[in-house]
Amino acid sequence: MPAKTVLVAWLDAVKQETAPYVAGNILWPYASWRQATTTLLAALVPFT
């Protein structure tokens, strides 16, 4: 299982990537949506 710092870094990366869309209440482009969900799912894999 990845270290806690690695998991937190992945979550922080998703926050940074999605911040402009969330702040501006803008629909996410598909590429951004896919990258964010892929990162979040990758962070969950060690817990299954």
Q: What is the pLDDT along the chain (48 residues), one digit of tens a residue?
A: 778 888 888 889 888 888 888 888 888 888 888 988 888 888 778 766
pLDDT at 13: 87
Q: Residue ranges of the domains in the chain?
A: 4-47
- pTM beyond 0.85: the answer is no
pLDDT at 3: 82
Angle made by CA atoms 39, 17, 25, in degrees to the nearest 5: 120
Q: Which element (helix H / strand E) includes 47?
A: none
Residues across the chain: 48
Given a contact cutoff of 8 angstroms between Cβ atoms, the answer to whether 18 and 36 are in contact is yes
Sign of CA dihedral 33, 39, 40, 41: positive
pLDDT at 48: 60
Nearest residue to 28 (alpha-carbon basis) of 39, 44, 17: 17
